[in-house]
Amino acid sequence: MDHASSDPIRRQLARLSRQDLADRLHAVRALAAVRGLRYLDDNSRPKTIEMALVPWVLTPVQVAFFGRVIRTLADALGRLPGLYARHAALRDILPFDEGQLSWLGLARHPRSRPLAVIGRLDSTATFAHAGWRRTYQMLEPNTVGVGGVHYAPAACSIVLDVLGDVLERAFPGHVMAPTPDPRQLLLEELVSVAGRLGRRLRGVALIENTDYTTGTDEFGSLARYLRGQGLKATVTDPRHVRRTNGRLTADGIEVDLVYRDCELSEFVEIEDAGHRLTAMRQAVREGRLVSGLMWEFDQKASWELFTDARWARHFTPVQQRLFRKHLPWTRMVREASVTDPAGRRVDLPAYIRRRKDALVLKPNSLYGGQGVVVGRTVNQASWERTLAKALRRGSERYVVQRLAPIAAHRFPVLDGGSPHEVERRVVSGFFLNSTGVGLVGRFSEDPVVNVSRGGGLLPALVVH
């Protein structure tokens, strides 16, 4: 069996009484609040994240297959810093300002070599059909400040608790287990990086920029998990990391590594505001930052290098095949002649205006679905206003990407206290470290599927 389906679970749910189904949906909602499935809305108020009752079901074959896909793509991303150093043309596709370049220079120090990463690559992949190997598209990279590391295992634990008896009846004689735990991927990466630096991992600082008070809210839960694994762990602002007598400390705790939710641009903003980040700079020089600064090349515009034939020779034949079949055509928005998806030369702004319904405009480095505009959901005037903003080349650059088809699933939710079936768009997020991969699903009524835009979580289980 190379793929499975959630249909046996749906059939078992259909046999439940309406009250039993409602009770289970209420239990999911209550456990989501208790187990930390929350984000902070635009007013910094905590909101419980909705969670699907019906999980995705994968086979070990599928987990192994996408593990190879993610590793292939991560290895390609790892080539970008070297290409950037050798080819001036990349500096208009992968933009960095002077402040960012000064930090990236620190990462070239010989002792900063461990290319530590814990990230997520988003995809249209779904799993319950015969064409699962052929039809997926990899939408964009996210290897810094990745969301869902706590949410994914928490969602799996909830569905296993609430639907344990249903899963046994749906898959008799089989074991249902969570997909690989991204918290464990994080821990493995931290231990590996510390080992490569000749250290035994004992303390970790989880840093986030406290100037921002909205979006995902997982670091407290991650710190508790790491403490449960015998480590010292604290959640702090990068301004509170110190260098004392040759030791790295945070909130009075000696730490070996720093795991960041901050992007490089945030370090620059903090310094521009007059704060010194001396200890953070030293941590970069010593290779003690996870994910390392070289992963700042994970910009959405990196897909331009992967989908433009003129750069193909810099990548392996396996990577090139993956790019051709499973990456949507992407270009950094600018006044330029580029190749279109068919390889023809076109004026890029004119092409974007003309092909609105087939394209998406995205801020190159923002996250959480911020600023994304799906062409077919807006009128021509609104589309051209966004394009004009992108062409002004302000502090936030934009990419244009071919619209990838996104599947929709139906599942029960609570509506006024009663079960009600809805249809929602779904996307998958593959977690990665240097050696492994995990998975979380997300769903939304919005064309831009993101938890920070009111979307929900879709647990992913493996049937053994």
pLDDT (tens digit per residue) in 204-233: 999 999 888 666 778 999 999 999 999 999
DSSP class per residue in 313-373: GGS-HHHHHHHHHHS--EEE-SS-EEE-TTS-EEEHHHHHHHTGGGEEEEESS--TTTT-E
Number of domains in the chain: 2
336 and 188 inside one domain: no
Among residues 402, 420, 436, which one ends one of the domains? Answer: 402
Answer whether residue 2 is part of any domain: no
- The answer to whether 259 and 191 have CB atoms below 8 angstroms apart is no
The per-residue pLDDT of the chain, averaged, comes to: 91
Answer whether residue 323 is part of any domain: no
Please, what's the largest Cα pairwise distance for the chain?
66
Give the span between the Cα atoms of 276 and 291, in whole angstroms: 21
Answer whether residue 322 is part of any domain: no
Answer whether residue 236 is part of any domain: yes
78 and 183 inside one domain: yes
> What is the predicted pLDDT for the residue at 113?
61
Instruction: Indicate the residue type of 172.
Output: P
232 and 343 inside one domain: no
Range of the domain at 83: 7-298+407-463
Nearest Cα to Cα of residue 287 among 227, 206, 198:
198
181 and 244 inside one domain: yes
245's tokens? 């007598």
Report the 10 Å Cβ neighbour count for 399: 23
> What is the predicted pLDDT for the residue at 462?
96
71 and 214 inside one domain: yes
**Residue 286 DSSP one-character state:** T
> What is the predicted pLDDT for the residue at 394?
72
175's tokens? 């074991």
Answer whether residue 370 is part of any domain: yes
Per residue of the chain (464 residues), what is the pLDDT tens digit? 788 999 999 999 999 999 999 999 999 999 999 998 988 777 778 888 899 999 999 999 999 999 999 999 999 999 999 899 899 999 889 989 999 999 999 887 655 565 678 899 999 999 999 999 999 999 999 888 788 999 999 999 999 999 999 999 999 999 999 999 999 999 999 999 999 889 999 999 999 998 886 667 789 999 999 999 999 999 999 999 999 888 999 999 999 999 999 899 999 999 999 999 999 999 999 999 999 988 899 899 999 999 999 999 999 999 999 999 999 999 999 999 999 999 999 999 999 999 999 999 999 987 767 789 999 999 999 999 999 999 987 778 999 999 999 999 998 988 877 888 889 999 999 999 888 899 999 998 877 767 766 789 999 999 99
Give the span between the Cα atoms of 152 and 457, in whole angstroms: 8
Answer whether residue 310 is part of any domain: no
263 and 384 inside one domain: no
DSSP class per residue in 109-156: SGGG------EEEEE----SSTTTTTS--EEEEE-SS-S-TTHHHHHH
80 and 126 inside one domain: yes
> What is the predicted pLDDT for the residue at 416?
79
354's tokens? 């003309």
> What is the predicted pLDDT for the residue at 87?
93
237 and 386 inside one domain: no
Answer whether residue 303 is part of any domain: no
136 and 179 inside one domain: yes
CATH of the domain at 333: 3.30.1490
Tokens 């400040």 found at: 145
316's tokens? 């392996």
Nearest Cα to Cα of residue 268 among 104, 132, 29:
104
Tokens 């590996």 found at: 192
242 and 348 inside one domain: no
72 and 144 inside one domain: yes
Answer whether residue 221 is part of any domain: yes
- The answer to whether 439 and 363 have CB atoms below 8 angstroms apart is no
Among residues 387, 402, 417, which one ends one of the domains? Answer: 402
Among residues 356, 373, 402, which one ends one of the domains? Answer: 402
> What is the predicted pLDDT for the residue at 60?
95
397 and 411 inside one domain: no
Report phi then psi at 337, rounded to 5: -95, 125
Buried-exposed string 109-120: b where 16+ CB fall within 10 A, e elsewhere: eeebebbbbbbb
